[in-house]
Structure 1
């Protein structure tokens, strides 16, 4: 099995070494194609107006000055030659990708691009807490990742579905189990705009995050609820975003 690994945290991110180790538990034919620089939050952007610079950093390890989407395309369509990968793994992201995160996440986008190319694809993310922010518990992803991937692959990933996996912020022995979940929704009050001034006194801005005084209780069955209960969250997500229910109502309205 040929596996293509990417991420959005960049070619030197520790989580990329983790996903490579997970991939090597499944196969010895592993290729790494990751962004040269941190591309967190770039979503499913594709570089059309800027050239892509490719750099080989080691055997079967390549850095692309572009987005995770660019990396998967470069890997599958150029670097690997005529033999397409059998599996795309994107991650392991430092931080969870749940709820509305999936819209912004470059990690999710890398897996989505693999799915668009017809390749079974997984996005892998390791949640961290305030206590483990500077030292995420990668061993949790390492312990549960390979066996979980094997089971999902054996079950057969549908052609237009990407699998979003999030590991909880706890030691492996404290993980309660694995849950198949749906995408959750949370209070977006955590987003903030931070205004500052440069050396000349001109304003500039950071979009950032802040810790809520009281977080909403996540709905049962969601990715948020699973992580809160220390379960590994596995969320199948479809490429087709059509709202079938509203489409029916709209059809009746527009007749």
Structure 2
């Protein structure tokens, strides 16, 4: 397959380097990724400034294009400009350092890069290691290969991304893959006020994770049980189970 590979940790991050190495065992991989880390940028795109795409080499070997934009920018420009003559089969984003569970997906540049692929009509995957301090990138890369072996692209639903999270255990100890739903995992944020040398206030956002979702099929539950979590996501956010109630209130 022809794969467009991106991320949000930056083109020099070990996650994308590892994933490209593993994917290239069986596939043709093209990289369009941020020039620097652009985590938690969500699905923003650049519309008022130009984008540069610079070729990146490791030694004498061409690796890909570094783009001075968001993860969504990287996928958009990769599909529509840099590699416009390539017929891609799938877009993959990652491997991210840290989990993308629950409400993380609203802020995640990793997930947004994959969703941008889905917006453009391509099957896509976002993959993350839940361990931020010592991410197991090689294990996560093996999981991606497993998923690609099992999935048939032609049966992939339109406008759909798979959000993959890999637990903090060795590949051989992973119990399997569980198809999950996005959990209600979220954050209780607070801001710590500090002073700069001139006495001006600035604020540092901190927070605590809230994990009170009782559904055993939610993403973080299966991670805790030693499974890979795979959650199908759509680019469309309509809350269908509220439509009829809302009609009865507003369409009268």
TM-score of the aligned structures, taking structure 2 as reference length? 0.92
| Equivalences for residues 24-173 of structure 1 within 5 A | 24-27=24-27, 29-58=28-57, 59-128=62-131, 133-153=132-152, 156-173=155-172
Cα deviation 1:84-123 (Å, max 9, x = unaligned):
3211100100011010001000000000000011111100
Contact 1:7/1:16 (8 A) holds in 2: yes
Q: Supply the distance in 2 between the matched residues of 1:60 and 1:4 (Cα, whole angstroms).
A: 12
Cα deviation 1:116-166 (Å, max 9, x = unaligned):
1111110010111xxxx4321223213322011221235721012111111
Structure 1 position 221 matched with structure 2 position 217:
yes
Contact 2:103/2:186 (8 A) holds in 1: no
What is residue 8 of structure 2 aligned with on the other side? 8
Contact 2:101/2:185 (8 A) holds in 1: no
- Residue of structure 2 aligned with 1:193, choices 176, 191, 204: 191
- Residue 210 of structure 1 and its aligned partner are, at CA, apart by 4.1
- Residue of structure 1 aligned with 2:235, choices 223, 239, 246: 239
Q: Supply the distance in 2 between the matched residues of 1:202 and 1:240 (Cα, whole angstroms).
A: 42
Contact 1:139/1:171 (8 A) holds in 2: no
Contact 1:91/1:107 (8 A) holds in 2: yes
- Residue 60 of structure 1 and its aligned partner are, at CA, apart by 4.8
Aligned length: 247
TM-score of the aligned structures, taking structure 1 as reference length? 0.90
Structure 1 position 20 matched with structure 2 position 29:
no
- Residue 238 of structure 1 and its aligned partner are, at CA, apart by 1.3
Q: Supply the distance in 2 between the matched residues of 1:25 and 1:236 (Cα, whole angstroms).
A: 26
Structure 1 position 230 matched with structure 2 position 233:
no
Q: Supply the distance in 2 between the matched residues of 1:100 and 1:31 (Cα, whole angstroms).
A: 29
Contact 2:122/2:159 (8 A) holds in 1: no
Structure 2 unmatched ranges of 5 or more: none
Q: Spell out structure 1 runs of 4+ moving beyond 4 A.
A: none
